[in-house]
Amino acid sequence: MPISAINTVEIEAAPGRVGETCTKLAHIVRALRADTECIGYEVTDNRIIKNTWLVSGYWASEHQMHAHFNHPELAAFMEMLNSGLVRRVSFNCFVVEQR
């Protein structure tokens, strides 16, 4: 299935909270894989910026990606920031091909 849209969330763990961040990211990604229409959802370790990960979602349509933004599990990223678990969260989305 061709990818038409991509969303990303870059997460930087707060000092001393790397293990907790990894555990929480794994939980969020498992939930999103199981309960969305995504083609794939992955976590990639950023090898350049220490203790930073890129969470990427791949979509068959822009509509599916935008509908996904209402998923309750996405609030967990902001909860991680508000609780001090992470130091930085950055959201992006890209439309590769209109469908």
pLDDT value of residue 99: 63
Angle between helices 18-34 and 75-82 (to 10 degrees): 170
Domain 5-95 has CATH 1.10.287.70: no
**In terms of Cα–Cα distance, which of 42, 46, 70 is closest to 55?**
42
Q: What is the pTM of this model?
A: 0.86
Give every CB contact of residue 77 below 8 A, 6+ residues apart in sequence. Answer: 9, 11, 28, 89, 91
pLDDT value of residue 97: 76
Structural domain boundaries in the chain: 5-95
User: Taking the chain (99 residues) in consecutive chunks of 10 residues, what is each chunk's mean pLDDT?
Assistant: 91 95 92 86 91 94 90 89 93 85
